[in-house]
Chains A and B, each alone.
Chain A
C-alpha cells in the first residue's frame, strides 16, 4: 500500500513541476490567441530564447541564477516586441493560413539561427548549488530544484491573476478579450495594449523556458519539438482564458508524468488520447467561450 502512495506522491510532485513550466510558457499564447485572434505557432521560439539567454549567461559569463532569470524575461519581452511591430502586426485580422505560414517560417528560422549561434548540442542547465540535491520534508525528500519550480510557478501564477484582476492594465486586457470593438470605442488604445500584452506573454514564455530548461532541454529544435504540448494546453484550456490553461497544464503535466512513470513504453500516446477525449467532450476547451 505504501508503494502505491509513494508512486502517487511522486507523480503528483513531478507532474506539478512540469505543469508550472507548461503554464508559464502557454498562458501568453492563450491570451494572444484569444485577444488578437492570432495563431502564433512560433510562441515556443520565445521560450527557447529565454532558455538560451539563461544558460549562456550562467555558464559562459557566470551571471547568478536570479539575475539570469530576469535577463531571460526582459530579453524575450524586448525581442518579441520588435517582432510584433515588424511582422506580427501586419497580419492581425488577416487570413489564419497566412498567420500559420508566417509563424511556421519563424520556427524554421529559429532552428537554423539557434544552430548557427549555439551549435546543435543541447545546452546544459546547472541550477545553483543551493537548489540542487534533495530537500528533506520529513516524511520523504524531494529534488530541490523542482520544489523551487513549483513554489516559484505558484507565486508567478498568483501574481499574474492578481495583476489581471486588480490593475487597470488587467482590466483593459480583459475588456479587449471580451469585446474588442467595445474596448476600442471606449477609448482603449488597443494597438499599444496588444503590443504590451504580446511582450508580457512572450516574456513569461521566456521565463518559463528558462526555469524549465531542466525539464524541456534547450536545443535548436525546441520550438518544433514542444509545439504540440503548448498547443494542447491552449486548446484544452480554452482560447483567451487565464485559468483554463492552468487547469489544462496541471492535467496534462500530471497525466504525462504519470504515463512516463507507469508506462514509459507507450511514450506520449495517452496525452493525445486524453486531449482528443477532452476536446470531443468540450470542443472549445474546458473554459472556452461559446
Chain B
C-alpha cells in the first residue's frame, strides 16, 4: 500500500515536472519497452528490428535540429509486474515523452493506467488484448485485435463450404477473444460449432486435444495459441496425428503461421488458411520496398513478420507526429495527432487510426500456405478492406 502511494506521488511529481518544463531542447525521448529475454524473445527481436529499421531509414527526414533518443527496456516476457516497473522508471527517472512497444497484452494492460496518470502517450506496437485502449485515453494502437482477425476467418470458413467446425484456443484473454470472434463470424453465416476447448497455457503437449478433434471429425478446426513454442507444438502434434490426411482443414490466425517460423515446419503447413494483417509474401510495392530495406539491413535469413511491421508502423506514426509538431508537443497534442493519423503507404496496405477507439483500421488478408520459389509462404488470396475492431462496435463504452 505504502509503496503504491509513494509510486503514485512520484508519478504525480513527474507529471507536474513534465508540465512545468517544456520538452527538452530538441531531443525527443522515447521509452521503448520490448521483450528481449524469456520465451517471447523471438517476437521481441522481430519488433526491435522493425523499429530500428524505420529509425535508420528515416532519421534524415526529421526536422532540422530535432533528434530522437530511444531508451530501451526489457520486460522479460508476459510479466506485468516487471513491465509496470520499467514503465514507471522510464516515466519518473528517464523523463521520456512517449512510451512505445510491448509484445504481451497483460503487460500493456498494466502499463496503460500509468500513462493516464502521468499523461504519457503510449504507442502499442503489438499487444492485442481487445480492451486495452479503453483503459487509458493516452493509448493508441497500431497492431491489431484478435477480434479484427478471427471474425473474418470465421466468416470466410462458413462461406467456403465448411459447415461444422471445432474451436480450440489457449485459455487466456486473447484466446477467449479469438474463440468468441471466430464463433460469431462462423455461426452468423450458417456454420455450426461442434465443440469448443480451452487449453491451459501450462500445457505444451497438444496431442490429446488434437486427437480429440480428430475423433470428433469436424470439416474445419480453428486453433489459436500464442506465437512461438505453442504454435510449434501445435504444428508438431498436427503432423504426428495426420489430421490433414483425415481431411480436416486447419484455419487459424497469423500467430500460428508466423512467416519466420514457416521454413522450420517442413511441408506440413501446406494448404493451411490463416487470417492476418501482414504477410511478408505480399506483392504490394510498399512491401517490396520494405523487404529490400530489411534485407539490406539484416541478413537474408531474417524474415520480417507482423511484429516487425507493427514496430515499423508504430515508429512511422511517431515520426509523423514529430515532423508535424517540429519536436515540440504536449501529450494531448501528440494524442490528437495520433487519433487522426493515416498511412496509405504501410507495407501491410493502407492503415488509419480510428479516432473513436484509438485502434487501427486496416485490411485483413486471408492467406494460404503455398510454396513460392521453393520456400513456404503465406500467400494472400482475399482482402477484406478497412476492417475496424468489431468488438468495440458490438460492445460500445458504457
Instruction: List A residues at the B interface (Cβ < 8 Å).
Output: 3, 6-7, 10-11, 14, 120-122, 124, 132-134, 141, 143-146, 214-217, 257, 260-262, 264-265, 267-268
Contacts and interface: CB of A to CB of B under 8 A. Distances in A.
Contact of B39 (A120, A214, A215): A120
A257 B209 CA distance: 9
Contact of B207 (A6, A122, A143): A143
B245 A134 contact: yes
Contacts of B199: 264
Contacts of A214: 236
Nearest to B229: A122
B233 interface: yes
Interface in B68-106: none
A106 B146 CA distance: 42
A189 to B, nearest CB: 43
- In the complex, the 6 A-B pairs of residues with the closest C-beta atoms, listed nearest first: A260-B208, A134-B242, A143-B240, A267-B200, A261-B208, A6-B215
A257 B208 contact: yes
Nearest to B76: A120
B296 interface: no
A124 B204 CA distance: 12
A265 B198 contact: yes
Contacts of A257: 208
A10 B41 contact: no
B229 A261 contact: no
B233 A217 contact: yes
Contacts of A121: 39, 41-42, 229
A268 B171 CA distance: 14
A261 B242 contact: no
Interface string B157-199: 0000000000000010000000000000000000000000111
Given A257-B208, A261-B208, A265-B197, A132 B215 contact: no
A7 B240 contact: no
Given A14-B211, A133-B239, A145-B240, A267 B203 contact: yes
A132 B240 contact: yes
B215 A264 contact: no
Given A14-B211, A260-B203, 18 more contacts: A6-B215, A10-B212, A120-B37, A120-B38, A120-B41, A122-B229, A133-B242, A134-B245, A143-B207, A143-B240, A144-B240, A146-B207, A216-B205, A257-B208, A260-B205, A262-B212, A265-B171, A267-B202
Nearest to A119: B41
Contacts of A216: 205
A215 B237 CA distance: 10
Contacts of A10: 208, 211-212, 215
17 contacts: A14-B208, A120-B39, A121-B41, A122-B204, A132-B240, A134-B240, A134-B242, A144-B240, A145-B240, A146-B207, A146-B240, A215-B207, A257-B208, A261-B208, A262-B212, A264-B203, A265-B197
A14 B207 contact: yes
Contacts of A215: 205, 207
Contact of A143 (B200, B215, B233, B241): B241
Contacts of A3: 215-216
B37 A260 contact: no
B308 interface: no
Contacts, number: 76
Nearest to A2: B215
A116 to B, nearest CB: 13
A85 B202 CA distance: 36
Contacts of B203: 260, 264, 267
B232 interface: yes
Contact of B211 (A120, A261, A265): A261
Contacts of B198: 264-265
B231 to A, nearest CB: 12
Given A124-B232, A134-B245, A264 B38 contact: no
Contact of B197 (A11, A122, A264): A264
B334 to A, nearest CB: 36
Given A120-B37, A120-B39, A260 B209 contact: yes
Contacts of A145: 240
Contacts of A133: 239-240, 242
A141 B242 contact: yes
Nearest to A261: B208
A214 B204 CA distance: 10
Nearest to B197: A264
Contacts of B215: 3, 6-7, 10
Contacts of A217: 204-205, 229, 233
A86 B171 CA distance: 45
A145 B39 CA distance: 26
Contact of A7 (B207, B209, B212): B212
A7 B200 CA distance: 20
A43 B258 CA distance: 37
Contacts of A124: 232
Interface in B221-253: 229, 232-233, 236, 239-242, 245
Nearest to A115: B37
A6 B198 CA distance: 21
A261 B212 contact: yes
Contacts of A120: 37-39, 41
Contacts of A146: 207, 240
